[in-house]
Amino acid sequence: MKRLGLMVMLAGVVVGGLWTLYHRDQIQSPADVFRLAAKQLSVWNASFGWTNEAPENKQDRSGLRVATFNIRVPLRERASLPTAVQTIGHIVREFDVIALQFGGDDSVYLEDIIAAANQGYGGRYEFVTDGSKGREPNRQRAAFVFDSARVQMDYAVSYALLDPDTVTSNPPFVGWFRAMEAPPDQAFTFSLVNVQFNAQSPMLELAHIREIFRAVRRDGREEDDVILAGDFHVGDQGFAHLRRYGYHWIASQVPTNTRYTEQSANLLFDPRSTSEFRGAGGVFNFVKHFNLPLAEALAVAESMPVWGEFSIYEGYEMGQAADSDPTGISLR
pLDDT tier, 105 (very low <50, low <70, confident <90, very high otherwise): low
Give every CB contact of residue 17 below 8 A, 6+ residues apart in sequence.
none
**pLDDT tens digits along 219-253:** 888 899 999 999 998 888 888 888 888 999 999 98
Q: Which domains does the chain have, with CATH numbers?
A: 58-311 (3.60.10.10)
Look at residue 42 and tell me whether its pLDDT is greater than 60.
Answer: no
Q: Which neighbouring-strand residues pair with 142?
A: 101
Give one DSSP letter per residue of 224-265, joined into a string: --EEEEEE-S--HHHHGGGGGGT-EES--SS--BTTSS---E
127 or 14: which leads in pLDDT: 127
Distance, in Å, from the CA atom of 171 to the CA atom of 160, rounded to the nearest integer, reads 6
CA–CA distance, 162 with 154 (Å, rounded to integer):
19
Instruction: For 187-218, write each residue's pLDDT tens digit.
Output: 999 999 999 887 777 777 777 888 889 989 98
Which pLDDT value is given to residue 72?
85
- Predicted confidence (pLDDT) at residue 302 exceeds the cutoff of 70: yes
Running DSSP on this structure, what letter comes out for residue 324? P
According to the model, what pLDDT value does residue 169 have? 66
Q: Does the reported pTM lie above 0.85? A: no
Q: How confident is the model at residue 49 (pLDDT cuts 50, 70, 90)?
A: very low
Q: List, for residues 127-172, the tens digit of each pLDDT value.
A: 999 875 444 444 678 999 999 999 999 988 788 877 645 666 678 9
Peptide bond into 82 cis (omega under 30): no
Q: Is 167 exposed, middle or buried (0-12, 13-18, 19+ CB in 10 A)?
A: middle
Give CA–CA dist 248/6, Å, rounded: 60
pLDDT of 39 strictly over 50: no
Q: Residue 239: which of 277, 210, 275 has the closest Cα?
A: 210
pLDDT at 258: 95
